[in-house]
Every structure is written in C-alpha cells, then in structure tokens.
Amino acid sequence: MLTPHSESDAAYVIRNAAAQGTKLAICGGNTRSGFGNITSAEETLSSRGLAGIVDYERAEMVMTAKAGTPVAEIEAALAENRQMMAFEPMDHRGIMGTHGASVGEPTIGGVFAANVSGPRRLVAGAARDSLLGIRFINGQGQAIRAGGRVMKNVTGLDLTKLLAGSHGTLGFLTEVTFRVLPVPQTVETVVVSGLDDAAAAKAMAAAMALPVEVSGAAHLPASVGGRFLKGALPAKADGAEATVLRLEGLAASVAVRAEKLAAVMEAFGPVSRLGLEESRTLWREIRDVHPYADGTQKPLWRVSVAPSAGHQLVAALRLEAGVDAFYDWQGGLVWMRMEADPEAELLRRYIRALGGGHATLMRASDAVRAGTPAFEPQPDAVAALSARVKQKLDPAGIFSPAKMG
C-alpha cells in the first residue's frame, strides 16, 4: 500500500502512475475494502499518511482537516467544544468485517469520498451538504482546490459536490473543509411497539408531519430487534417490532415535543420512551447497521427509495426470495440482507416498478461481486456525462478502474 505523507508526494506518485499506466485503488483507512465492483488496480493509494486537523474555527463552526485524519480524532476535537458532524457518518467496519491490524480507521476523506450519511440525513442533509471545500489531486498529478464556486473547465459542475460520493474514481482527496453543528443538549426517543412494516410507514409519516422536529425515524422489524445490543431497546420492544422516533435539542423543548409526539403515536400502538444514553446507544447501532454486522458475506444491499415504497419493496421481494430488512430515513433507506442469492435483477426491477430509486451492493463474496453490478446502472445521458467528467479529471483512467461500473 502506498501511503504518501504530503500532498506533493501524493502528486508525484500519481504522475508516475499515469506515465506508466499503473492503476490505483484509492482508499482512506480501507475500511470499505470489498465494496464496489471488483477493480483491476495494481496498487493501493491510501490517504492515511495525510493526517491532522489544519484549522478549526469553533465560533464559525467550520473545520479543515487533511483527508487521512481518523474520524475518531475529528469527533474527539469536536466533542471538546460540544460540536458534531451533523450528517452522522456510519462506521462500516462491522458490516464489512474489516476490523484488524491490516485495516486502518475510518478517515474523514473516506467519509466524504463515499458521501457517508447516517440517520440524521433525514433533516440535516447528506455528508456532501456539509462539505464546503476540498483539495485533491487529479489523474495527471495536479493539485486542485475547489469550493463554493462552479468549475467551468469541467462541464460546469461543482467539483466539491462532484467528488463527494465518487468513491475515489475522480481524484485523490488531500484536504476537506466542512461545516459542523452544536451537540444537542439532550436526546429522547419515542418507541412504538408491535407495528408491522406497513403500519410503521404510516406512523413515521404521521410523526414527520408533526411540528416536533423528528431527527431520526426508523423501523426495526422483529427479525432485527433482538440483534441490537442489550439495553438498546426497552424491555417490551426488545426482540419485537419497534418503530423509533428521535427528538434532539434543549431539554425543555425536547420534553414538550416528546409529549406531543407520544400522544399522537398512541393511536398506532403501545408507546415507551428512551432517555439520553439509551437513545445514543440505539441510534449508534442503527447508524452502523448493527443487525448485519454478523461476520458473514451474505449479500447486503443499501436501497434508497421513496419513504412510502420501502415496505412495499420488501413485501414484494419476500414473495420470491429470502430477505431480512430494516428501515431508516422514515422508510426511505432500506438495509436489506439476502439469505442466499443477491437477486440484483429482481430487486432493481421492483425498485423501478415502485417509482425508482437506487440499490447499492454493500457486501458480498468475491464470486457474487464478480457477477453483480454494485451500483445502480445510470441512464444513458447521465452515463455520458459521467464519462466526460472522468475523462477530464482522470484521462488515463488510473483511479479505481471499474469500481463504479
């Protein structure tokens, strides 16, 4: 693994690779190894040698850090000032099985390169929505700064937003500048027990329509409820269906909003409430997809659809395949583990029938990955635009070839 310790060293490595036609797999801590389409890369280029917080304007709530800075270091610095990353990035190591000496820690550059966004995306936006600026090296070894303006030399697109979610296929991130938010004074979760998937979808929609500022809405069917850490759910919900609704903010405000929300939710089923520590535990496990951190290579899909379509998709699939699932983002994000075959064609056909969305294969054996497109196929017009952008930024095609298709 190549781990340059300066931007100039990274640029030198990339220039040499381009000149020699050497394909590079781009990573941060490499905690998502095994994700995406199998690439033909000959070397791995990691940003973990580019570490450290460059600038932290606490009053302005803006941080700049080198791309290889561990997320844990970022979170610790923010916590000292009661601030946080609003988009709540997950730690993929559990579901990917990438704990170990050969794997580093999740990095802040990796978070933005993959646009990693957790339960609070529902109200705070995705990782890319907090990203203010970047420094990166293109496929010709040129260092580029982008942020807050349109880059007319690349088909008129904003490079900051473009590289977020590109999974290292367009450039090698060296530095990121992003917005942070204050940590809420308290957190409370309203739990509705015993709802099936369809009833839970209605309950979550009703909760989101209320003026109570729900910051997390998830449904945990009975099949996954018992797989959360002990104490993450109240006793009467542990091992049963649980629809969970998070409220955050000033303690007095949360108390009033929780009363209003609980009163409405009682029309759907039995209601209980979790306090600060129990809520933090629960939402951390939801964020990190704890039920499927199971040490297996069973195909695991991350499916994004309309909130009203999630439970319909799972119900349709269960008529034809072995499926286990739970729901985040008010039902619009479905984490779906297939018990045998990945069923990619079947899954994507049902997604189209239900109004569209995206299915991303997060985990599978190499044999399955070799025959299953990990990302949703792009429409022709979008694919053509993607190809033009790739040609501009990485003309020799050395960055993570074929990773995204």
Q: Quick: pLDDT tens for 330-374.
A: 999 999 999 989 999 999 999 999 999 999 999 999 999 999 999
What is the predicted pLDDT for the residue at 266?
98
Q: Return the CA Rg of the chain.
A: 21
Average pLDDT (277-302) is 95
Q: Residue 196: is its pLDDT beyond 90? A: yes
Q: Quick: pLDDT tens for 219-255.
A: 999 998 777 766 677 766 666 899 999 999 999 999 9
Q: Residue 157: is its pLDDT beyond 60? A: yes
Average pLDDT (257-285) is 96
Q: Quick: pLDDT tens for 48-107.
A: 999 999 999 999 999 999 999 999 999 999 999 999 999 999 999 999 998 765 678 999
User: How does DSSP assign 241-257, residue by residue?
Assistant: -EEEEEEEE-HHHHHHH
Q: Residue 151: is its pLDDT beyond 90? A: no
What is the predicted pLDDT for the residue at 150?
39
Tokens representing residue 109 in the block: 């550059």
Q: Residue 112: is its pLDDT beyond 50? A: yes
The percent helix, strand, coil of the chain (3-state, each to 5) is: 35, 25, 40
pLDDT category of residue 134 using cuts at 50, 70 and 90: very high
What is the predicted pLDDT for the residue at 101?
58
Q: Is 289:228 a contact under the CB 8 Å cutoff?
A: no
Between β-strands 83-84 and 271-274, what pairing exists: parallel, antiparallel or unpaired? unpaired
What is the predicted pLDDT for the residue at 239?
67
| CA gap 394, 237 in Å, rounded | 51
| CA gap 256, 208 in Å, rounded | 16
Instruction: Tell me 184's DSSP state.
Output: P
Q: For 172, list phi and psi in degrees, rounded to 5.
A: -105, 105
| CA gap 81, 68 in Å, rounded | 22
Q: Is 49:66 a contact under the CB 8 Å cutoff?
A: no
Q: With left for phi above 0 and alpha for psi between -120 and 50, is residue 226 left, alpha or beta?
A: alpha
Burial grade of 264 (CB within 10 A; 0-12, 13-18, 19 or more): middle
| CA gap 211, 260 in Å, rounded | 9
What is the predicted pLDDT for the residue at 148?
43
What is the predicted pLDDT for the residue at 33?
86
Between β-strands 43-46 and 24-27, what pairing exists: parallel, antiparallel or unpaired? parallel
Q: Chain-wide mean pLDDT for the chain?
A: 93
User: How does DSSP assign 110-176, residue by residue?
Assistant: HHHHTT---TTHHHH--HHHHEEEEEEE-TTS-EEEE-SS-BTTTTTB-HHHHHTTSTTSS-EEEEE
Q: Residue 153: is its pLDDT beyond 60? A: no
In 47-107, which ranges are E strands? Answer: 53-57, 62-66, 83-84
- Alpha-carbon distances, residue 262 vs 182, 214, 225, 296, 384 (angstroms): 26, 12, 20, 38, 49
Instruction: Tell me 2's DSSP state.
Output: B
Q: Which amino acid is at 219?
A: H
Alpha carbon 356 to chain centroid, angstroms? 19
Looking at the chain, the whole-number percentage of residues with pLDDT higher than 90 is: 85
Burial grade of 237 (CB within 10 A; 0-12, 13-18, 19 or more): buried
Q: Quick: pLDDT tens for 73-86.
A: 999 999 999 999 99
User: How does DSSP assign 23-49, residue by residue?
Assistant: -EEEESS-TTTT-SSPP--SEEEE-TT
What is the predicted pLDDT for the residue at 233?
76
Average pLDDT (288-303) is 95
Domains and CATH numbers, the chain: 7-182+385-393 (3.30.465.10), 186-287 (3.30.70.2190), 298-363 (3.30.70.260)
What is the predicted pLDDT for the residue at 364?
95
Q: Residue 192: is its pLDDT beyond 50? A: yes
What is the predicted pLDDT for the residue at 144?
94
Q: Residue 154: is its pLDDT beyond 60? A: no
Q: Residue 3: is its pLDDT beyond 80? A: yes
